[in-house]
Structure 1
């Protein structure tokens, strides 16, 4: 089967770089599948699991709290501040992130902040909830 080069980059290092058959991305507008020859685009990623497929099976599943993906016909580059293999996710850590994110959102709502700051805080809440869901499914 045809492949494309998948590169997964965090601020610290290159996490993954190899040819793959398909990648499923948690795009901001919904789950998105990428195959070789995909139309070029840049998409925002929401909190969720990136699933990498090779040989007809899932070979890697990584949780990201957000980021961006640059898609080209022969290459996909994913940029994320953090990525955790799904099997290493902790329910306790996810629950702590949810509590902290919900507290921060409540404080912003109480002080009457800007819609942009509320939206960013809500994105953190949703990413933490997605982390918990991924940890429970693992």
Structure 2
């Protein structure tokens, strides 16, 4: 049995998770990373994606996050998300709305840098939509 550590997932609206876990898979800035007990200290930005939490009791929960930061220490991990919701609570209408907003942001961008960032976010959202929602 793997050693457990403290994991907290916090959004501006509420604390979604605060428990002992065996592992957490997070969508870091450089790609997906798995955090386990005694992980080397790291701070990373979070891309829109799915956070998979394997609890110390063996259960698994998934959460969709839309950006933020993760502070990883040997004793635990805190993920401060710009927005987060349990996958089981997501509906297609919310994802569709976010995709439409991202399309509008890309179309309304006043410079190439802003347009590129909006298009990258749109790509992440559409990838996320395909990964978590049934067709």
1:126 is displaced (CA, Å) by 3.1
2:93 equivalent in structure 1: 92
Secondary structure of the 2:13 match is: coil
Q: 1:137 to 1:54 in 2, by over 3 A?
A: farther
Superposed structure 1 runs of 4+ greater than 4 Å apart? 55-58
In 1: Cα distance, 2:116 partner to 2:102 partner = 12
Contact 1:66 1:127 in 2 (8 A): no
In 2: Cα distance, 1:53 partner to 1:11 partner = 23
Contact 2:8 2:77 in 1 (8 A): yes
TM-score by length of 1: 0.85
In 1: Cα distance, 2:125 partner to 2:55 partner = 28
Count residues with an aligned counterpart.
134
Q: 1:118 to 1:56 in 2, by over 3 A?
A: farther
2:115 equivalent in structure 1: 118
In 2: Cα distance, 1:134 partner to 1:57 partner = 23
The alignment's C-alpha RMSD in Å is 2.1
Which 5+ residue runs of structure 1 have no aligned equivalent? none
Matches within 5 A, 1:50-89: 50-55=51-56, 57-89=58-90
